[in-house]
Amino acid sequence: MTVRFLGHRLTTIGNTERETQNRVIALFTNELGYRFLGDWKDRAGNSNIEEPLLTAYLLRNGYTPVQSTKAIHELRIEAGNPNRTLYENNRKVYSLLHYGVPVKAAAGENSETVKLINTDHPELNDFAVAEEMTVYGQHDKRPDIVLYLNGIAVGVLELKNSRVSLGDGIRQSLVNQRPEFIAPFFSTVQFIFAGNDSEGLKYGTVGTEEKYFLQWKEDEEDNFRFKLDKYLLKICRKSRLVELLHDFVLFDGGVKKLPRVHQYFGVKAAQRSAEAFRGGIIWHTQGSGKSMVMVLLARWILENKPAARVVIVTDRDELDKQIAGVFTDAGETIRRTTSGSDLMKQLRPACSSSALLTGAQVWQKRGG
């Protein structure tokens, strides 16, 4: 074991994985306010949907027993469809987490939406953490830490001691997602983390290749504690975890994506400007993910400002097609206008198109 000064605090590098895990569990329970569910190594029936926890949450939030039962049944059906890929099951589950579950209490009645997550008041959700959780499959696996939101497994964290590369933790989660292991468990998971005391923390989501796992960077001058702890506190803070889940998850043509840190803060800044009816500029370099920022921001505006129109202006036809493809792959509807007059027509309140794509070149066409 070596000793290192980080800021003004004396810390140790070389802790065992068990020591690191104990510290991280304490961080979740004492600092982030998660409930500790326990060591689930020998617990029977471990699931990515813990029905007693989810039922209790729904009943506390005013849903009837019938609504709760039907919503959980629908969630289980979408999470466990054996005829779809993990990506597709995860996408269906995400839709229910994002939009809620339409439920009819009885035949002939109107549907009501059962919200599985309270996004307006994140602190009212039930945040919990379990460790050493045995997941039973063709070959059983045991993730180090599982994060539960209202009884739904939304995060998996693999920890390593400081002498073992973060890559080992990432590869461990990738192996676990294979059909011959515990792939069905990941149908509800939104965040996959790998961490140790020497390298810090990396994050991805279901299907993220090792080379695309990301590092969160915020308050870089603060070196008072381990980066693993620092960034778990940043990302897994209750309000931010719910916000990331609801507003910053993207399914893009077969690839599920989470934002890089600059994309997150760029969209957040743009949201504040939109709320205040101010303009602004987000500066991007090539390859920095501007298309993802466009989709995330447009989706947020249209969900929070139902009467709004979003217009994306490009300067060449091939860029038109590229951006339209990104929106379509992400499941968002966008209409390409054919001229300036067509654009003005689509901006009228009576038109149903909310997201519009136009190129400066089409304004020169007849009728533009």
pLDDT surpassing 90 at residue 176: yes
Asked if residue 303 and residue 178 are part of one domain, the reply reads no
Q: Which residue has the higher pLDDT, 202 or 281?
A: 202
Q: Which residues of 70-97 are buried (b: 16+ CB within 10 A; e: fewer)?
A: bbbebbbebbeeeeeebbebbbbbbebb
- Whether residue 245 is found in the same domain as residue 265: no
In this prediction, residues 222-251 reach a mean pLDDT of: 95
pLDDT of residue 360: 61
Can you tell me the mean pLDDT for 319-344? 78
pLDDT at 8: 37
Instruction: Out of 225, 250, 275, pick the residue that ends a domain.
Output: 250
Of 350 and 215, the one with more pLDDT:
215
pLDDT value at residue 27: 98
In a domain, 197, yes or no: yes
265 and 230 fall within a common domain = no
314 and 227 in a common domain: no
Q: What distance in Å separates the CA atoms of residue 348 and residue 14, rounded to the nearest whole number?
A: 64
Position 285 scores a pLDDT of 79
Which pLDDT tens digit goes with each residue over 62-106?
999 999 999 999 999 999 999 999 999 999 999 999 999 999 877
Average pLDDT, the chain: 89
Its pTM stands at 0.90
- The residue range of the domain holding 220 is 2-250
pLDDT in the model for residue 312: 83
Q: Is residue 2 predicted with pLDDT exceeding 50?
A: no
Residue 3: band (very low, low, confident or very high) from pLDDT cuts 50, 70, 90: very low
Check if the beta carbon of residue 205 is closer than 8 Å to that of residue 192.
yes
Q: What is the mean pLDDT of residues 297-306?
A: 88
Comparison of pLDDT for 207 and 316, the residue scoring more:
207
Same domain, residue pair 62 and 205: yes
Residues 6+ apart with CB under 8 A from 197: 13, 14, 15, 20, 161, 162, 226, 228
Strands 152-159 and 250-252: unpaired
How many percent of the chain have pLDDT more than 70? 92
Residue 255 lies in a domain: no
Verify that 60 and 187 share a domain, yes or no: yes
- Verify that 222 and 357 share a domain, yes or no: no
Q: How far is CA 325 from CA 253, 331, 339, in A?
A: 9, 10, 20
**Contact by Cβ (8 Å): 130, 145:** yes
pLDDT (average), residues 10-19: 67
Look at 100-114, 193-207, 235-249, 335-349 and tell me which has the smallest mean pLDDT. Answer: 335-349
Q: Answer with the one of 207, 224, 250 that is the final residue of a domain.
A: 250
pLDDT tens for 110-165 read: 889 999 999 999 999 999 999 999 999 889 999 999 999 999 999 999 999 988 99
- Shared-domain flag, residues 141 and 281: no
186: Cβ–Cβ under 8 A, 6 or more apart, which residues? 48, 86, 90, 156, 176, 177, 206
- In this prediction, residues 47-61 reach a mean pLDDT of 98
Please state the rounded mean pLDDT for residues 38-58: 97
Q: Is residue 256 part of a domain?
A: no
> Is 158 inside any structural domain?
yes
pLDDT of residue 362: 60
Report the domain count for the chain: 2
* Residue after which a domain boundary falls, among 196, 221, 250: 250
The answer as to whether 174 is a domain residue is yes
Among 225, 221, 201, which residue's Cα sits nearest to residue 213?
201
Spatial distance between the Cα atoms of 175 and 196, rounded to a whole number of angstroms: 19
Q: Mean pLDDT, to the nearest integer, of 48-55?
A: 98
CATH of the domain at 311: 3.40.50.300
Judgement on whether residues 285 and 210 belong to the same structural domain of the protein: no
**Does residue 344 lie within any of the structural domains?**
yes
Same domain, 111 and 51: yes
Which of 12, 199, 163 lies closest to 2 in space, CA to CA? 12
204 and 157 together in one domain: yes
Q: Is the pLDDT of residue 6 over 50?
A: no
